[in-house]
Structure 1
Amino acid sequence: ERLATATPPRDSTSKLSTSTPRYNNGGSSSNTLTSQGRDAQAGQDTMINAFLVFNGQGQPRLTKFYTQLETSMQQRLISEIFTLVSNRPAGSCNFLPLPPLLAASGTSHSSSEEQNDVPSLVTYRNYATLYFIVISTSTESPLALIDLIQVYVEALDKLFENVCELDLIFNFESLHATLGEMINGGVVIETNLDRIVAGVRAQGTVAKRPVNEGRSAGIGGGLGMGGNFVWHGR
């Protein structure tokens, strides 16, 4: 079963994705998501609070928080968000409100701060048995975040050549390096696929998969993202 490497096919299962803002895949035209990131830097009220990846069993493969949270709250958030997302029916909307208790506890703010700086939105996509989840303020565009997740997945596939879940396990540093090329301090700074991949490769963090680990040995029966695109409409 494959994870996505290309834009979802334009059929009834991918209506949400085909309406999302498109990213620049190497050209010089202006980039919707990059522009949005620059606007966020100026406004300081639009930001990503966390980027999470876990498999179908709820095991975290990547957890990156951009707002200060106690470890116990992080663990609780990961557990509750996974339960919330994994139990949603196929074909459901890809974004939903953050549970109120977690939203209230997500960050510490002074009384003078704007409440639209509080994390309140969960945006996610499901590729095979992996869930890619973004927690953000309500001022972030969920459609742009859906596209941002797609860029991240495609970047990983370019780095690992038909990436599978084993690559996520053995190359923890590369996952964070890729995310670091795209997001800094909760603000989207880059969505150009070629520049992201070049930046990660320049850091020398991409490692080869162990020789004895075949594609079919991947957790979940092999989760390659290359080749034929498969997207479950979530």
Structure 2
Amino acid sequence: MIKAVLIINTQGKPRLTKFYDIMTVEKQQELIRSVFGVLCSRADNVSNFMEADSIFGPGSRLVYKHYATLYFVFVFDSSENELAMLDLIQVFVETLDKCFRNVCEFDAVFNYSKLHTILDGIIFEGQVLETSSAEVIRAVEEISKCSPSLPPSCVCTFILYFLQ
């Protein structure tokens, strides 16, 4: 199961956070600070995979990719494959690139709800829902046609409907 998806800029500011385990906001902030502390201290030539037991508990793994000024981070347990998670980050970034024409930090700040909609099209409740960038984009476009400002509960229902 995927435990969390984070997008953090190079100064440590979270641009998107999605935790699939219930925890307090204070605990989430502490985890984000811990993850960023580890990421910014790692050399560029080391693996993008790491144990996250000390941060997220036993059996936790972390995979990340650094694009321009953003770290894309997935935290997951031992039931997920590390390479599949790395590929899922790539699918997420490719989908964002197609939606925003080369996604950047400003897109994450000013299109926060669209980022969450895209993420919900790929991962739902900690489980991988869709790995096709084209299918996720199609679902997001259909949702946008229905209503530009749907409440989050409706968005999840629409995503599940359009991805079937």
The question of a shared fold, defined as TM-score above 0.5 by the shorter chain, is answered with yes
Query: Which residue of 2 is the match for residue 109 of structure 1?
Result: none
Which among 55, 61, 66 is matched to residue 15 of structure 2? 61
- Amino acid aligned to 2:21: T
CA shift in 2, pair 1:158/1:50, >3 Å: same
Query: Which residue of 1 is the match for residue 28 of structure 2?
Result: 74
Which among 23, 29, 49 is matched to residue 3 of structure 2? 49
Query: Which residue of 2 is the match for residue 84 of structure 1?
Result: 38
Alpha-carbon distance, 1:83 to partner: 0.8
Matched residue of 1:78: which SS?
helix
Distance across 2 between alignment mates of 1:130 and 1:171: 15
Matched residue of 1:190: which SS?
coil
For structure 1, the 5+ residue unaligned runs are: 1-46, 105-117, 207-234
Alpha-carbon distance, 1:99 to partner: 4.2
Matched residue of 2:60: which SS?
strand
Q: Equivalences for 1:201-220 in 2 at 5 Å?
A: 201-204=141-144
**Is 1:198 equivalent to 2:138 in the alignment?**
yes
- Looking at secondary structure, tell me which structure has more helix per residue: 2
Distance across 2 between alignment mates of 1:200 and 1:65: 21
- Amino acid aligned to 2:24: E
> Is the 2:6–2:72 Cα contact (8 Å) retained in structure 1?
yes
Distance across 2 between alignment mates of 1:99 and 1:86: 18
Which among 69, 72, 94 is matched to residue 154 of structure 1? 94
Matched residue of 1:122: which SS?
strand
Query: Which residue of 1 is the match for residue 107 of structure 2?
Result: 167
Distance across 2 between alignment mates of 1:127 and 1:103: 24
Distance across 2 between alignment mates of 1:181 and 1:129: 24
Query: Which residue of 1 is the match for residue 68 of structure 2?
Result: 128
For structure 2, the 5+ residue unaligned runs are: 149-164
> Is the 1:119–1:135 Cα contact (8 Å) retained in structure 2?
no
- Looking at secondary structure, tell me which structure has more strand per residue: 2
Deviations 1:20-58, CA, capped at 9 Å, x for gaps: xxxxxxxxxxxxxxxxxxxxxxxxxxx000000011000
Structure of higher CA gyration radius: 1
Q: Which has the higher contact order (CA 8 A, sep 6+)?
A: 1
Distance across 1 between alignment mates of 2:30 and 2:104: 27
TM-score by length of 2: 0.84
Query: Which residue of 1 is the match for residue 56 of structure 2?
Result: 103
TM-score by length of 1: 0.60
Superposed structure 1 runs of 4+ greater than 4 Å apart:
none
**% identity of equivalent residues:** 42
Distance across 1 between alignment mates of 2:24 and 2:59: 15
> Is the 2:31–2:56 Cα contact (8 Å) retained in structure 1?
no
CA shift in 2, pair 1:141/1:178, >3 Å: same
Distance across 2 between alignment mates of 1:50 and 1:192: 20
